[in-house]
Structure 1
Amino acid sequence: MASDPFDDLLELENEYYKEGYDAGVADSTYAGMIEGKVFGVEKGYEKAAGLGRLHGRALVWQTRLSQSAHDKSRESDVQSSSTGPTTGESERLASIVRILGGLPSNTRLGRHIDALSSVTAGASISKDNSDESVSEFDDRITRASAKAKVVSNIVGEALNPVSMTNSGIEDATGLEARH
C-alpha cells in the first residue's frame, strides 16, 4: 500500500504540540530555579532582619543597664561586657538611653541581656548554606526570641510596641483625594 502524502501534514499538529511542550518544560525549569533563588533571598533577609532587630534591642538594653549602673555609682571605670556595644555604638545609643532612661540594676537581668547579645552576635553565625547551618540559625532565632521575651517581661516593656502590618496603598485610610 502506498503512503498517503497527507500523513505528514496530519501529524503536524502533534509535532507542534510536542515542540511547545518541550519548550515550556525547559522555560519553567529555568524560571522555577530563578524564583526559588529569589524566594530564598527574601526569606533569608527576613530571618536576618529579625535577628538583627533582636540584637539591636540587646544593645539598647545593655547600654541602658550599664548607663543606670554608671549613673547610680558615679564611677567612671564601669566596663561593658565583651558582648556589649563598642565605643561607636555606645555614642549612638547614648541619646536613646537618655530618652528611655536606665534599667534597674539586676544581675539576673544583666545575664539575660548578655545571653541575648551573644546569641544574636553576627560574628558567631555560620555563613554557609548547609542544612545544619540553616537549622542552627533557626534555633538561634527561637532562643533569641525567648530571651527577648524574658528580658522585656523583666523590664516591663512591650517586645513589639509597633505593629508591623503589611498594608498596601489600597488599605490606606485617612487619605483625602485632591480635586
Structure 2
Amino acid sequence: MGIVGDGLERAVQQAFTRPIPKSAGAQMRYLVKQLKGTRAVAEALGISQRTVERYVKDQIRRPRADLAQRLEAAVRERWQPRIRAQAKQQAATSTGLVIDTRARFGFTAAPGTTDDARLRHLTIALPPQYAARLFDAQEAGASEQQLRNIAAEGLGEVYFRDGGRRARGLEVEFTDVEHLEFDL
C-alpha cells in the first residue's frame, strides 16, 4: 500500500477487541473457515493445498519466515470485519481521526509571503468529513498520492487555515513524510 494507507489500516486494527490467533495452525484454521476451503487458502498464500491441510491438522507447527508474514497479514486483513466497520463508521461520522506526522509542509500563497517548505511535526485532530473521505478513497482503491492529497487538504484546513479564520486560498503541499500515524 503506502504510508497513508498502512497508517489507516493500523489505526483501524487498534480497535480490535480480541487478538488474532497466535499459532500457525489456528491462523490456518481461521483462514480455511473464512475462505471456505483449503484450496482457496493455498491460492491466497501461494502454497500447496496439502501444506495447508498439514497446518490445519497441526502436523506442521512453524512456518518459514516469509510464509509466517503472509499468513499473519492474511488473517489480520480478515480479522473482526464488523469491529473494523464500526470503527470506520464512528470515525467518519462523529469522532474523526488524529493524525501525527513529521513531514515537509510548503504552500502556495499570495506574493510576498514566506512559502518555503519546512519540516514540521504536527499532531492534529481531523474532523469526521476528512476521515470519511480517507476511508472512502482507500476502499475505492485510491493511490497513495490521492490519500496524501486528502490528508494535506485536511491538515491545511485545520492547522494552516484554522477552519477558514485565516490564510484563505492557501494550498498546502505535504511531502517528504518521515513519520505518519493515525488514531481513531
Class of the TM-score when normalised by the shorter of the 2 chains: under 0.3
Which gives a bigger RCO, structure 1 or 2 (Cα 8 Å, sep 6+)? 2
From the two aligned structures, give the one with the greater strand fraction. Answer: 2
Structure-2-length-normalised TM-score: 0.24
Q: Scaled by the length of structure 1, what TM-score is found?
A: 0.25
Which structure dedicates a bigger proportion of its chain to helix?
A: 1
Q: Which has the larger radius of gyration?
A: 1
